[in-house]
């Protein structure tokens, strides 16, 4: 197994990714595969942090629009969904022998540690996988923005954005067979072309701090390790030449 090109990464997962082929909730097979991948990365000596969304359980903005719930309240409900997913990830990783800590932006001490930056850094230095739950702890901010923020706070060298497609395309490849895949993109191109990589706030944060984003297909086994080893898969978003 080759040497990693990153010493510390933040892996961003959508809540929908945990559903697998289900219509709702968490697929245990997906958890098992993901846990095995993270375990391999940890064995390479890479420090790993995770941020997972909550869309497989509850999406705040959609609920606010469709059911008339106040947007702030709906977003807090979505944050609680990310805590459920984080605990599920923790349970699977621990079962596979990977030491973890869940740090929540909303305090709930019975099940997670409160988010404190120095504590997160200390856990990473000790080789523990740190799972950041409850987004930023504030409504109107997505888990993409939380991932960008936490990545910068822990001095991650890259955000690995795990998706169900093998990179960023100019249009939806599931619908358009002639969709063009980008090997590399600049932050400005993502914003100008309104490409669905991460939301504009997250992209702007990464651009301001020159934090690269690697978008790749998580459904192919071994891809997390391949990205960490620097193999040319997926799409890299960076500042350009």
Q: Can you give the pLDDT of all 241 residues of the chain as single tens digits? A: 579 999 999 999 998 889 888 888 999 999 999 999 999 999 999 999 999 999 898 875 666 667 778 889 889 999 999 999 999 999 999 999 999 999 999 999 999 999 999 999 999 999 999 999 999 999 999 999 999 999 999 999 999 999 888 899 988 888 888 889 999 999 999 999 999 899 999 999 999 999 999 999 988 899 999 999 999 999 999 986 5
In a domain, 180, yes or no: yes
In a domain, 68, yes or no: yes
Query: How far, in Å, CA of 92 to CA of 52, rounded?
Result: 14
In a domain, 124, yes or no: yes
pLDDT given at position 61? 61
Structural domain including 123 reads 8-238
pLDDT given at position 158? 98
- What is the CATH classification number for the domain harbouring 13? 3.40.1160.10
In a domain, 3, yes or no: no
In a domain, 1, yes or no: no
Number of domains present in the structure of the chain = 1
In a domain, 222, yes or no: yes
pLDDT given at position 1? 53
pLDDT given at position 21? 83
In a domain, 2, yes or no: no
In a domain, 230, yes or no: yes
């Amino acid at each position: 197994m080759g040497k990693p090109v990153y010493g510390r990464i933040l892996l961003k997962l959508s809540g929908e990714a945990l559903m697998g082929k289900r219509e709702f909730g968490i697929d245990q097979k997906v958890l098992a595969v993901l846990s095995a991948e993270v375990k391999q990365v940890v064995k390479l000596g890479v420090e790993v942090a995770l941020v997972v969304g909550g869309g497989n359980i509850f999406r705040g903005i959609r609920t606010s629009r469709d059911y008339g719930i106040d947007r702030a309240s709906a977003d807090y409900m979505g944050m609680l969904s990310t805590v459920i997913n984080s605990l599920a990830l923790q349970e699977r990783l621990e079962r596979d022998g990977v030491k973890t800590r869940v740090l929540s932006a909303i305090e709930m001490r019975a099940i997670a540690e409160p988010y404190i930056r120095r504590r997160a850094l200390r856990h990473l230095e000790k080789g523990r996988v740190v799972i950041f739950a409850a987004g930023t702890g504030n409504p109107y901010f997505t888990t993409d923005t939380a991932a960008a923020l936490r990545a910068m706070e822990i001095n991650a060298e890259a955000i690995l954005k795990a998706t169900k497609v093998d990179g960023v395309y100019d249009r939806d490849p599931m619908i358009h067979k002639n969709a063009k895949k980008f090997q590399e993109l600049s932050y400005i191109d993502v914003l100008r072309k309104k490409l669905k990589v991460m939301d504009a706030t997250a992209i702007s944060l990464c651009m301001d701090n020159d934090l690269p984003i690697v978008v790749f297909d998580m459904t192919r086994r071994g891809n997390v390790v391949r990205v960490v080893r620097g193999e040319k898969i997926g799409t890299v978003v960076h500042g350009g030449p």
